[in-house]
Amino acid sequence: MQWKRITAVAATVMLAAVACGSPSSNNNSGGGKVQEGTTQEKATDPTAKGPAAEIDGAKKGGTVTILSDVTPDTFDPTNIYYVDGNQIGKLFYRALTQYKLDEKTGKPVLVPDLAEDLGTKSADGLTWTFKLKQGIKYSDGSLVKAEDYAYSIKRSFAHELYDSGPTYQIQFFKDGEKYKGPYAAGGDNYSGVETPDQNTLVIHLAKKFDDLPFYAAFPLFTPIPKSKDTQKNYEQKPLATGPYMVQSYNAGTSLNLVKNPNWDPNTDPVRHQYVDGYNFKFSQDLIKAQRQVLASNGPDANALSYSNLDTSLLPEVKDQSQLVKGDGPCTITLPMDTRKIPFEVRKLVAAAYPYDAWRKVAGLNSNDSPPASTILPRAVPGFEKYELPGLNGTGKGAQDPAVAADVKAKLAALGKSNFELSQYYSIDDKISTQVFQLRKQVFEAAGFKYKGIGVAKAKIRTYTGDQNAPVNIGKTPAGWCSDWPSGTSWFPVLFKSDAIALGNSIGQLQDKTLDAEIDRVTALDPNAQLKEWGKIDKMILEKYLPAIPLYYSASDFPIGKNLGHVINDVTQGMPEFTSIYVKQP
Amino acid sequence: MSIGSPDSTVGVEEHPASAEPVRAASVAHGKSPTRIAMDRLRKDKLAMVCVGIILFFILVAVFAPLLAKLEGQTFSAFHTDLVDEFGFPTTGPNSQHWLGVEPKTGRDNFARWVYGARPSLIVAFSATLFGTAVGVVAGLLAGFLGGWTDRIISWIIDFVLSLPYLLFAIALVPIVESMRGGSFNLTPEEQASTRFYVLIFVLSFFGWAGLARIIRGEVLSLREREFVLAAKAIGVPTRQVLFKELLPNLVAPIVISASLSLPAYVTAEAGLSFLGVGLVEPVPSWGQTIAVATNWFKADPIFLWLPVLGITALVLSMALLGDAVRDAFDPKTRR
């Protein structure tokens, strides 16, 4: 049990400061074999058609067991937001769009799912029309109707009931702030979504939201028939559209999936139906479960654990092919308040930062937290690898006496000797206090004054989340995870001047030139944006340095010896469940 | 017979052995009960070993800075070059780091261990001292004066015993911090020292009541005895009756209670620190180290064994000594 505790602690510390657009319940992350330094050519493919290409050597049959230490909070399609619920949900919920991972590079491409295309927007960008595939059936054999899509969108406005689900619809859809969902009085009448005929879904927006096709991949866009909606109990026996359906679900303990006979592979460009079923076992002891998976004895050979391998188990890994590695959707940084720390001093902070020592004290290793040199993580299309001198997430920093003396001299030359850096830390968290002590020792050696304000761990996010907090480094968001793999989920949200008011600003930048540049790229076609985000990324670090990139999230989880084609989905940092097969069923 | 020194056995020889009944060597006479008990204790080998161990730890704690200096390390310096990428120490015990280094941070194990003895002992001794003093005075007053004084003190004792002590320990920290100027204005060292004093206060605050109850009961039976009645009759002031007549008769329960509460406080400090509500970084303490070290047991067993051995040896010897003291004071005990 001790192991679980410290893992939870470590996870909290690492992610405590990360405001994930998608709050991830675990800090593992994934990805296929993404090649560094290459820009992706294509972010979307509206023409992808089912069935998905067969995987070499894949066999049918067998049951996969997933042993998980964490427990997804919900499987209600409207309420799913955490990465694990999202990823598991893909096995039985189909939405309007979905991601196809490139077989060679592992990069995600947005493709249609239950929609025929990726939606068409009107000239003013405020009306989106999705053509719907016909003949789709639910797991009980009944036909999916256009009204069901409209109903599930209406359902997502009942945010009081489904309070952990995503909220972009409230922000962007027409009357989003006013409409309270289908259960409220007059709930049937919502003008934001229309179904003129059985193969068309029209969505009206209050303001432009060009990322809607990406957002439409969330399970809240799966069809739900109004007559079958049992509100909070729907997750117990949901109607499935995907290749599997729920046989039994015990909240917090287990989820058993069996084949859905009414799923038609010809309509689905991504999913497969190789195995007979999935058994998810939640709330397992992390160390015990991962040890079982690594040993692969008997039924454990068909098991996997989607949490990152615990460091203490490293010596027990005999076969490296049992570890699935890859990129994740997050970057963690050390933000510096640009209003309080001058640019020249920010550069000295970056030079003095003791990356190597910090990584050790914070318990990070290159398998699950590779050093970062950019703002966009490798998993997001548009990532372009570059390294500014001294900004690659590694190095001794001012632990090297020569560097310390150099920084000290430069600070003095700027007239900023004893410049005070201040941060919050959790007084009741060992890693947080140790990191603080390390930074204090190192930065004071480099001629800074370093102040820490110790607050209770339970409250630290309230303090660090205040954009005007009386500290100048380490305010949240200290990192970011993308809700969808696109630069638009990053730069406009984090670095524009209005991000301060939204409480999302990294470094509290207020710069008109940068705002204009980000707006220019956001207005481009998604495929054309890919080449531009890398330039903006570099420009921000070079000219503004609002944060020091520290590390990317990454996957490194153990799988049983009998499992084939387990790859990481870089959009979630989770295994791609829908293409797994059992080698010897 | 030669003439010996004046105090030699001359006098004894003059009395024939049969003139006086032979006393067994073990039966003392003309000594106070405390002296008798101390004599018994001194003959108890186990008790003496325990005293030795406790003295050893006290010396370690007192000379912690000196010992660390002797080794050439401090308890707070990070040596991250001595741990690998995954946090495992790359060096074992060597001449620079006598007991190796901590995983992840690379801080010196030996220095942290000797400094870690300090909070355990300081907290245990000061809480015992304070708790005993208050408990004895409250118990004496309540038992001897009776009436309203007794009712009020007894009520307070019951009240204190009914308070949830763990909740109190957690809740008091922010209150005291705000009294010291709020956590925003405190340095980490000040915050850590706040925790330290709060811990001592909480332990002693909850420690006195039990003792006070025992003392009150003893006093209730003693105050009707002839020597107390006589003292009162000839007009001896209350203060003198309490401290000159009654207190000496209460030495046994007091010493026993104190010697048993010492190990309890050492464990309580380590336990609370382990749970994260006791001491915090940067103060090194065994409890905190154990909390971290359980996760590194396989890779770095010495890291866990050091504080565990420290606490076990200290608590065991204190507990055994407490038992021995009780046996010594209780004439009915036969081993």
pLDDT in tens, B122-174: 989 999 999 999 999 999 999 888 889 999 999 999 999 898 888 887 788 77
The A residues from 283 to 322 touching B (CB cutoff 8 Å) are 311-312, 314
Residue of A nearest to B297 (CA): A312
User: How does pLDDT run across A267-296, given as a tens digit for each residue?
Assistant: 999 999 999 999 999 988 888 899 999 999
SS3 helix, strand, coil % of chain A, rounded to 5?
A: 30, 20, 50
Distance from CA of B79 to the nearest CA of A (A): 8
What pLDDT does B3 receive? Answer: 47
Q: What ranges make up the beta strands (E) of A113-218?
A: 120-121, 127-131, 193-194, 200-204
Among A366, A433, A437, beta carbon nearest to B85: A366
The B residues from 77 to 96 touching A (CB cutoff 8 Å) are 77-78, 80-81, 83, 85-87
Contacts of B187 in chain A (CB under 8 A): 451-452
Strands A277-281, A63-67: pairing kind: parallel
What pLDDT does A34 receive? Answer: 39
Distance from CA of B238 to the nearest CA of A (A): 49
Tell me the pLDDT band of B332, cut-offs 50, 70 and 90. low
Taking the Cβ of residue A386 and every Cβ of chain B, the question of whether any pair is shorter than 8 Å is answered with: no
Q: Which residue has the higher pLDDT, B192 or A101?
A: A101
Q: How far apart are CA A474 and CA A332, in angstroms?
A: 11
Q: A180 is written with which tokens?
A: 């309270």
Strands A277-281, A303-304: pairing kind: unpaired
What pLDDT does B331 receive? Answer: 65
User: How does pLDDT run across A16-56, given as a tens digit for each residue?
Assistant: 334 444 333 333 333 333 334 445 556 788 888 888 989 98
Residue of A nearest to B191 (CA): A454
Contacts of B104 in chain A (CB under 8 A): 360-361, 363, 434
Among A314, A441, A455, beta carbon nearest to B86: A314
DSSP A142-174: PBP-HHHHHHHHHHTT-TTTSTTS--HHHHHBT
Q: A82 is written with which tokens?
A: 């955490």
Among A361, A427, A455, beta carbon nearest to B80: A361
The A residues from 406 to 435 touching B (CB cutoff 8 Å) are 427-428, 430, 433-434
Taking the Cβ of residue B175 and every Cβ of chain A, the question of whether any pair is shorter than 8 Å is answered with: no
Q: How far apart are CA B221 and CA B212, in angstroms?
A: 15
**To which residue do tokens 């051995």 refer?**
B309
User: How does pLDDT run across B216-232, given as a tens digit for each residue?
Assistant: 999 998 888 888 889 88
Three-state DSSP class for residue A331: strand
- B184 and A470: CB-CB below 8 Å? yes
Specify the range with the lowest mean pLDDT, choosing from A382-386, B36-40, B125-129.
B36-40
Contacts of B76 in chain A (CB under 8 A): 437, 441
Among A365, A438, A451, beta carbon nearest to B78: A438
- Quick check: B290 and B255 in contact, CB under 8 A? no
Tell me the pLDDT band of A12, cut-offs 50, 70 and 90. very low
Among B80, B174, B281, beta carbon nearest to A360: B80
**To which residue do tokens 């632990």 refer?**
A399
Average pLDDT, chain A: 85
Among A316, A427, A442, which would you mutate to test the B interface (most chain B Cβ atoms within 10 Å of its Cβ)?
A427
What pLDDT does B242 receive? Answer: 86
User: How does pLDDT run across A411-444, given as a tens digit for each residue?
Assistant: 999 988 889 999 998 887 778 888 998 999 999 9
Confidence (pTM): 0.76
Among B81, B105, B184, beta carbon nearest to A434: B105
Taking the Cβ of residue A399 and every Cβ of chain B, the question of whether any pair is shorter than 8 Å is answered with: yes
Nearest to A153 by CA among A194, A122, A121: A194
- B299 and A365: CB-CB below 8 Å? no
- Quick check: A176 and A192 in contact, CB under 8 A? yes
- Give every CB contact of residue A40 below 8 A, 6+ residues apart in sequence: A105, A107, A381, A382, A383, A530
Q: A304 is written with which tokens?
A: 């996997």
- A454 and B294: CB-CB below 8 Å? no
Among B80, B104, B280, beta carbon nearest to A433: B280
- B188 and A433: CB-CB below 8 Å? yes
- B184 and A314: CB-CB below 8 Å? no
- Is ipTM strictly over 0.90? no
Q: Looking at residues A520-544, what average pLDDT do you find?
A: 88
